[in-house]
Amino acid sequence: MAGNKKHLLLLFDRPQEPCFMEKGPQRTVTPDYATDIPQIVSKFSSNAQETVSVNAVSTPSLGDILELKREENFSLFIPKHRKIAGRLIDIFLGVRNVDELLSVAIYARERVNPYLFNYSYSVALLHRPDTQDLDIPSIARYFPDKYVDSQVFSQARAVANIVPEESRTWKKKHRVAYFREDIGINLHHWHWHLVYPFEAARSVVDKNRRGELFYYMHEQIMARYNFERFSNNLKRVERFIDWDNPIKEAYFPKLDSLVASRSWPPRVANQRWQNLRREVDQIQVDIDDMKRWRDRIVDAIHAGVAKDANNRDVPLTENEGIDILGNMVESSILSPNRAFYGDLHNMGHVVTSYVHDPDHRHLESFGVIGDSTTAMRDPFFYRWHAYVDDIFQKFKETLPRYTVARLDYPGVTITDVQIQTEGGQKNVFQTFWQQSDMDLSRGMDFQPRGSVFVRFTHLQHSPFTYTINVNNEGKANRMGTCRIFLAPKFDEKGTPWMFRDQKNMFIELDKFRVTMKSGRNVITRRSTQSSVTIPFERTYRDLDTNRPQGGDQLAQFNFCGCGWPHNMLIPKGTAEGLQCELFVMISNYDDDRINQTIEGQCNDADSYCGIKDKLYPDRRSMGYPFDRMPRDGVQTLQQFLTRNMRVADVTIRFTNRTLRPKSGN
């Protein structure tokens, strides 16, 4: 049969295997484009139920894209890699229609490094007008080696060879690093960077407020990680500020790369950042370069003005400054002057990832922190991002404080806030462990067909409902934005917070529009509706078996895969109950509103991911009202409150029990 849109997705399957081997549930085979090896085709495709033919097209020149060998690892943080990824994306964006894309993609897939292919192809499918309705499958299914302990694969291979056609399930041992190594969290982070690349065609990179969202999404990761640390009697992460000092944290990934056929390099304790001289990656960076970039950025913050390449002023204004700064620090191609402000955050990842082999004398590749797919596993990721966040906070400290007038919603008073957990007590969140199964067979190259399930254990919470009582003193209906945040009630010493510190601990739980009639209103909202999360099924989606048939459900399913995994919405808490403060605010919708239609768009995790091809759906600064220092005289959260805000004392109670998978496997 002729190729069609859905066949484009088959090219994600079994990334190391050639196209002429069967892919997908129909065991579809596509020709090995432009190489003619019919004997092998017939040998491998004898079971195929579907064959796709593709049109001959003029083949693109792949040039330096081929310099990254198939067995090497790929990282967007490495300038050479991101340059060739940009070229490949442009090739995929440049072909005229779906038929040609299929041909060109098959041609490229046979030749290009599989990680590079997967990344560039995903970005292109997300951004081409004729393919953006396609769902990009979860990368964990195709490159499970980036998420799952290496032992699992040797077991999977051994058993898969003995019982070829049955589903097989293995238990994966739970580890203490339940947050850092959570598959869903790492998938969210990968997907976020897929939606917001920092280098590609300008039309792909230049999204509304992307520099600000880089700041905010990573600020929330830090707040969430610190919350988990509090749940385990640990202090907040210390930012990595003295770059000449050794890195205390060791990290041993225990992952094996199935594609690169080698393990990820570990980092032993007390390594120091070194100047990089890696000709093979075309990287030459000195720690002194990093220090110069840092100083120039800090100077720009203090001056309130950056300089572009022509030495013209780029003012860091109250509303847009954070966006410009985000692009400078990350950095993205939107940086006002990349030569001058450099590539600070990205190079922090790179320098750390090569700390074991800075001049390539051992021919080693980068560690997990050098790849956005795996970076969040490394404890040092949080020390580096704590540093990066601190730069943004320094800038925020220079901005005007919110006056009462910019916080209040005259005539709107919240009189009560509570949460009710299903089958539990009022104002108590319940957390526990849950097991789930994921089919890895799509990533198991050259293995017999049939499902290969891995069982993994992750954090979970009971569903709950917010109930918010609001009084609208006006005669007419009023619209507002309800903003819900959560933070620990006490600092690590057990003393009540100063507002200036607690504001950075608040994690966003939800944000939604409300209409209030005159008089008393009771607003209820379910935890599963959260504007920061996507449902568990979508994080781990299997496009073939979970896909709804049509209608509303299908539209929901088609929303993008970016979003915090829902099972990680509530931090773990403690057995005795971690005391927290639940903050609810209703702001005036007139000051929040963005005029646009978003129907059919990917928007259910818009707080952290924005909305595809649309404006960020909230006019306020991201993190409002906690993104500024407090007004004069405000020391505590209680003093910060205006009538349209309310705080409830809540606890998070963790029970050390493990629920079996829902499917009962």
Query: Mind telling me the catalytic residues?
Result: 330
- The least distance separating ligand CUO from the CB of residue 347, rounded to whole angstroms, comes to 11
> 191 phi and psi, to 5 degrees?
-70, -35
Pick 372 or 434: Cβ nearer ligand CUO:
372
The minimum distance between CB 102 and ligand CUO, in angstroms, equals 31
Compare residues 18 and 565 and give the one whose CB is closer to ligand CUO.
Answer: 565
| Cβ at position 329, least distance to ligand CUO in Å | 10
Please give the Cα distance from 137 to 544 (Å, whole number): 10
Measured CA to CA, the distance from residue 373 to residue 653 in angstroms comes to 31
Q: Which is nearer to ligand CUO, 48 or 333 (CB)?
A: 333
Interface positions, 130-159, toward ligand CUO (CB under 6 A): none
Please say which residue, 84 or 375, places its beta carbon nearer to ligand CUO.
Answer: 375
Q: Which of 285, 375, 578, 605 binds ligand CUO (CB under 6 A)?
A: 375
Q: How far is the CB of 119 from ligand CUO (least distance, A)?
A: 14
Nearer to ligand CUO, 371 or 508 (CB): 371
Of 372 and 457, nearer to ligand CUO (C-beta) is 372
Among 353, 372, 373, 434, binds ligand CUO (CB under 6 A): 372
Say which DSSP state 251 is in: B
Smallest distance from ligand CUO to CB 193, Å: 6
x/- contact string, 290-329, with ligand CUO (CB under 6 A)?
----------------------------------------
Long-range contacts of 44-51 (CB under 8 A, 24+ apart): 44/20, 45/20, 45/21, 47/22, 47/449, 48/22, 50/1, 50/26, 51/1
CA-CA distances (angstroms) from residue 200 to 76, 126, 419?
11, 13, 44
To the nearest whole angstrom, how small is the minimum distance from the Cβ of residue 369 to ligand CUO? 8
Whether the CA torsion 324, 326, 332, 338 is positive or negative: it is positive
User: Cβ(366)–Cβ(350) under 8 Å?
Assistant: yes
Closest distance between ligand CUO and the C-beta of residue 346, in Å?
Answer: 7
Can residue 489 be called a binding residue for ligand CUO (CB under 6 A)?
no
Write out the two tokens for 217.
């999404």
What part of residues 27-86 is at the interface with ligand CUO (CB under 6 A)?
A: none
- Total of chain residues touching ligand CUO, rule CB under 6 A: 8
First to last CA, the chain: 36
Distance CA 123, CA 134 (A): 12
- In the chain, the amino acid numbered 426 is K
Q: Do the Cβ atoms of 446 and 16 come closer than 8 Å?
A: yes
Q: How far apart are CA 329 and CA 12, in angstroms?
A: 33
> Concatenated DSSP letters for 579-608?
EEEEEEEEEEGGGT------TTS--TTHHH
Judge whether 120 and 83 are in contact, CB under 8 Å.
Answer: no
Cβ nearer to ligand CUO, comparing 470 with 507: 507
Within residues 419-458, the interface with ligand CUO by CB under 6 A covers none
C-alpha 84/C-alpha 108 separation (Å) is: 13
CB of 375 to ligand CUO, least distance (A): 5
Single residue of 7, 128, 141, 189 touching ligand CUO by CB under 6 A: 189
Closest residue to ligand CUO, judged by C-beta, is: 375
Q: Where are the alpha helices (DSSP H) in 442-550?
A: 499-502, 536-539
- Binding to ligand CUO (CB under 6 A) within 204-223 occurs at 218
Residue reference for tokens 């041609």: 107
Q: Which is nearer to ligand CUO, 372 or 539 (CB)?
A: 372
Q: Is the peptide bond before 625 cis (omega within 30 degrees of 0)?
A: yes
**In the window 384-423, what residues touch ligand CUO (CB under 6 A)?**
385
Q: Which of residues 347-366 bind ligand CUO (CB under 6 A)?
A: 349
At position 13, the amino acid (one-letter code) is: D
- Residue 410 CB partners (closer than 8 Å, separation 6+): none
By the criterion CB under 6 A, which residues form the site for ligand CUO?
Answer: 189, 193, 218, 345, 349, 372, 375, 385
